[in-house]
Structures are given as C-alpha cells and as structure tokens.
C-alpha cells in the first residue's frame, strides 16, 4: 500500500510518537509510507532523520495544495490529528484513495456537534485509541468501527545516562516518584502538587520529578510549590528527550489527568516495571483496571497521596501490580500488533469500496 500520514502538530507528544512508530512498522512490512507535516516541526525532523519522504508545509493552504498535488499517488490518507481530518473530509470527493482518522482524545463534543459529525462521517475508516476516545463520535451518532490502542516499544537502558540522572535528582538515595505531563488544564498539575504536599506531611524520604514542557498552568504550579514549601521535594525537570532512561529511576509513576484518551506515559511505566497511581479519567480506567494500578477519582489529591504511600510501603503490592501491568502492556500494546490492525482496517475499507488491495 501507498500510505500518506498527516500530522500537523508543532511539538512532540504522544500522538507524534505514535505516528512515527506506525510509519516504521508499515515500512518494515513493505509498504510505501510518507508524511505530510508542519514545516520544521519535531515530527517532520524526526521522520526525515529516519529516512522517510516528508512533505513539509507551513499552513492550511499548503497542506491542501499538497493533498491535491498527490491525490493520485497514495492509496491511504491517514489523518492523525483533528486539524488534518477537517481537510481530508472537505477534499474527500477528489482524493483517489481511502481516508482514515485516528481519534486520540476523549474530549466531549460540545462545539458544533453537527459539523463535527458531518466531518467524521466523510471518513472511510474512523479509529479510536480507546473506548473513551470512541465515546465522542458515538455521542453524535457516528459509530467507531475500530478501537486500536496505542503501542509502546522497549528501549535498552543507557546506564551512563541513568547514573547521571540519579546523581542529578537523587544523589542522597531518596525514593523517586515522577510524572510526565504538560502543564495543561486536562493534566491537572495543581492537584498533583497538592497530592505531593499530602505525601510530604507523612514522609520526607522522596523526591518528585515532573517531566514535561511548559504550558498555561506552569507558572501556577511553580507558585503553588513555593507556597507549600515543596521546593526541595517537587522538582520541575522539564522536557527529557530520552524519557525511557528516566523511568529506570522511578519507584512510582503518577498521573492526575482530568481527561485522557489512553495515557501512553502510563504504558511506558508498565513496560519499564514502574507501579502507577492514576485518576480514572477516560481511557485510564481501561488501562489500569484489573489491579494494574491504583485508581483515584479525578481531582482527589488525598487518594493520589495514599496510592503513592501504599506503593512505596508495600513491596508485595508493588510486585503484583507491576506483574499484571507488564503482562497487559506486552499483550495489548505491541507495536507490530497495532500496525497490523491498521493494515487490516485499510484493506477491509479498500475491498468494500472495490479498490484493488496491493499484495
């Protein structure tokens, strides 16, 4: 198959990582894969470095011109972001192949529901990464035929980098608790700061690392840490390119999201054997069910603190939680399995439209 991925995000978050992972797997399977991305964005740069054909555009006009120019070259046009699926829907009548959209968010459809439903109905293959992500389309009368969870891949440890991180953040041997999240409303960093404050009132043998770039609540989180006197315990670690190494430091991973379609950072924690405390927002409830982590109501800082405390103090609980989580993530979030699910969905749609599926 000839597949064009569309992702017009500026930065690098879970959706961009999943886009590139999928492209790698498609190429391994013998398919022709290209990317239409924002000019000089992190995804475009990474894809170029990996040897992919990348069409780089600076805005909507360029994106549409590119689609029209190459409308006969590709069998599959796969939008990975909401800002690209709109233009796929509009240009659908003149495109030569199958249109696909992966919904990676669990936000309810509150603005222009009729227009959003129309847009999704134009897409041949509508995919959600979780049942929580599928609830939005279902709520406006658009069925989601495919739920294909995101995938994670294991990266070998860089012992030198890990030692440097430990020396930087926990030279005195304190327990390491951490999160990896942007400072946005849906990630709810202020509840996380409050949870760490509750934990600090009960023990002082830990350091909390917040990995993640800036965001609208970054200044507020810093101010709250200062007000609570947590400067020596709550560390703003910033964006870390090789986050897999940071997981090797962690005793507990915490996520305080108010909205989350799946939570790929939680899957990473599972893969690297780090027990997780999480809110039950959206797809997190699916991922952490059946004893794979500690679940708390959204916004409940006391529960998050108690979850951290229990996992720190109970080796047996930690061992059981990690075992269940690792078995699950290796079974359900394998990158080869994810890619094959997409390829099967593409092939099915092509057959239904009478398009010859390349062998």
> Collapsing DSSP states into helix, strand and coil, what is residue 112?
coil
Number of folded domains in the chain?
2
**How many Å apart are CA 119 and CA 83, to the nearest integer?**
11
Same domain, 198 and 144: no
Print pLDDT tens along the chain (359 aa): 999 999 999 888 888 999 999 999 999 999 999 999 999 999 999 999 999 999 999 999 999 999 999 999 999 999 999 889 999 999 999 998 999 999 998 888 878 899 999 999 999 999 999 999 999 899 999 999 999 999 999 999 999 999 999 999 999 999 999 999 999 999 999 999 999 999 999 999 999 999 998 899 999 999 999 999 999 999 999 988 788 999 999 999 999 999 999 888 999 999 999 999 999 999 999 999 999 999 999 999 999 999 999 999 999 999 999 999 999 999 999 999 999 999 999 999 999 988 887 66
Instruction: Check residue 359 and give its pLDDT.
Output: 61
Instruction: Check residue 24 and give its pLDDT.
Output: 97
256 assigned to some structural domain: yes
214 assigned to some structural domain: yes
Instruction: Check residue 289 and give its pLDDT.
Output: 93
96 assigned to some structural domain: yes
326 assigned to some structural domain: yes
Same domain, 166 and 308: yes
**E-assigned strand segments in the chain:** 2-7, 32-38, 53-57, 76-79, 98-103, 125-128, 146-147, 175-180, 206-211, 234-238, 252-255, 276-279, 294-296
357 assigned to some structural domain: no
359 assigned to some structural domain: no
**How many Å apart are CA 176 and CA 195, to the nearest integer?**
15
Same domain, 262 and 272: yes
**DSSP annotation of 357:** P
User: What CATH number should be reported for the domain holding residue 77?
Assistant: 3.40.50.2000
Instruction: Check residue 237 and give its pLDDT.
Output: 95
Same domain, 88 and 196: no
| Integer-rounded Cα radius of gyration of the chain | 21
Indicate the pTM of the whole model.
Answer: 0.85
Same domain, 123 and 164: no
Same domain, 118 and 210: no
**How many Å apart are CA 84 and CA 79, to the nearest integer?**
6
248 assigned to some structural domain: yes
Same domain, 177 and 43: no
Same domain, 117 and 173: no
Domain carrying residue 103? 2-151+334-352
Same domain, 60 and 10: yes
Same domain, 8 and 134: yes
Same domain, 13 and 147: yes
**How many Å apart are CA 225 and CA 228, to the nearest integer?**
5
Same domain, 300 and 347: no
27 assigned to some structural domain: yes
């Amino acid at each position: 198959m000839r597949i064009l991925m569309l992702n017009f995000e500026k930065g690098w978050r879970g959706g961009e990582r999943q886009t590139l992972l999928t492209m790698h797997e498609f190429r391994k399977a013998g398919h022709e894969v290209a990317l239409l991305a924002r000019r000089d964005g992190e995804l475009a740069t990474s894809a170029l470095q990996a040897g992919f054909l990348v069409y780089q555009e600076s805005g909507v006009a360029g994106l549409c011109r590119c689609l029209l120019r190459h409308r006969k070259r590709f069998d599959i046009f796969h939008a990975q972001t909401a800002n690209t699926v709109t233009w796929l829907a509009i240009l659908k009548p003149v495109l030569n192949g199958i249109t696909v959209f992966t919904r990676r968010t669990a936000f309810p459809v509150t603005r222009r529901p009729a227009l959003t439903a129309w847009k999704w109905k134009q897409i041949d293959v509508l995919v959600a990464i979780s049942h929580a992500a599928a609830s939005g389309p279902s709520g406006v009368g658009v069925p989601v035929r495919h739920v294909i969870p995101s995938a994670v891949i294991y990266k070998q440890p860089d012992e030198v980098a890990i030692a440097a991180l430990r020396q930087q953040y926990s030279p005195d041997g304190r327990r390491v608790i951490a999160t990896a999240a942007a400072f946005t409303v849906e990630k709810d960093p202020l509840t996380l700061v409050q949870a760490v404050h509750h934990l600090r009132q009960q023990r002082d043998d830990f350091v909390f690392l917040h990995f993640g770039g800036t965001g609208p609540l970054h200044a507020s989180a810093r101010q709250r840490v200062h007000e609570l006197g947590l400067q020596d315990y709550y560390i703003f670690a910033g964006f870390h390119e090789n986050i897999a190494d940071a997981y090797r430091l962690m005793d507990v991973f915490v996520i305080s999201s108010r909205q989350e379609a799946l939570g790929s950072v939680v899957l990473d924690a599972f893969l690297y054997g780090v027990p997780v405390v999480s809110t039950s927002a959206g797809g997190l409830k699916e991922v952490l069910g059946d004893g794979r982590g500690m679940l708390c109501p959204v916004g409940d800082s006391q529960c998050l603190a108690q979850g951290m405390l229990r996992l720190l103090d109970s080796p047996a609980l930690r061992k059981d939680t990690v075992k269940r989580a690792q078995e699950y993530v290796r079974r359900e979030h394998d990158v080869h399995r994810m890619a094959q699910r997409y390829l099967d969905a593409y092939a099915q749609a092509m057959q239904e439209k009478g398009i010859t599926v390349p062998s």
